[in-house]
Each structure stands twice: as structure tokens, then as C-alpha cells.
């Protein structure tokens, strides 16, 4: 085994934590009290947290689409006019 695979992975940040961090960054940037370098660092942190939020939202959306597709595939006949996701054909 190589050493990289033996190191424990840092715990994944949750959507809620990433969103809270993003909101804190926005608040700090809106105050306008940061130096240019600190503002750039805060912006980088904000983009990182935004990426986590977007990835999580995309993953959740995919899961919802799968669940709805499975549901509508076995849904009662009276729902026959709907496509997966419950949208009208």
C-alpha cells in the first residue's frame, strides 16, 4: 500500500456547513473591511464552498429524478399522462 491511501480522509463538509461558510464569506466581503489579499482569500474560500453546495444540489437532484422515475414507472394507470418526474407529456 502506498502512504497516500493510508492517510485518513478529512470528513466531508455538509451542504449546510458549506452554505453557512459561504454566507459568512459574503458578509465579510460586503463589509468592505478586508485588505485586498484577505478579500481574495475569502473569495477563494467562498468559491470552494459554493462548489460544494452546487455539487451537493446536483447530486440531490439526480437522486430525486431517479426516485421519481422509479415511482412513476410503477405508478397507477390514472397517472399515465405524466412523464417521470410528474411532468405532463
CATH of the domain at 42: 1.10.287
Contact between 42 and 29 under an 8 Å Cβ cutoff? The reply is: yes
Number of domains in the chain: 1
Residue 82 inside a domain? The answer is no
The more confidently predicted of residues 29 and 9 is 29
pLDDT in tens, 35-70: 999 999 999 999 999 999 999 999 999 999 999 888
Q: Enter the C-alpha cell of residue 35.
A: 485588505
Tell me the pLDDT band of 21, cut-offs 50, 70 and 90: very high
Residue 55 inside a domain? The answer is yes
Residue 39 inside a domain? The answer is yes
The more confidently predicted of residues 63 and 3 is 63
Residue 2 inside a domain? The answer is no
How far from chain centre, in Å, is Cα 72?
26
- At 71 the pLDDT is 81
Residue 64 inside a domain? The answer is yes
Residue 62 inside a domain? The answer is yes
- At 75 the pLDDT is 72
> Residue 52 sits in which domain range?
14-74
Amino acid at each position: 500500500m502506498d502512504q497516500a491511501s493510508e492517510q485518513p480522509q478529512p470528513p466531508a463538509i455538509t451542504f449546510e456547513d458549506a452554505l453557512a461558510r459561504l454566507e459568512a464569506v459574503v458578509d465579510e466581503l460586503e463589509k468592505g473591511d478586508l485588505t485586498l489579499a484577505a478579500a481574495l482569500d475569502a473569495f477563494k474560500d467562498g468559491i470552494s464552498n459554493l462548489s460544494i453546495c452546487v455539487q451537493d444540489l446536483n447530486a440531490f437532484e439526480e437522486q430525486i429524478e431517479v426516485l421519481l422515475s422509479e415511482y412513476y414507472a410503477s405508478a397507477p394507470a390514472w397517472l399515465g399522462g405524466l412523464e417521470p418526474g410528474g411532468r405532463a407529456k
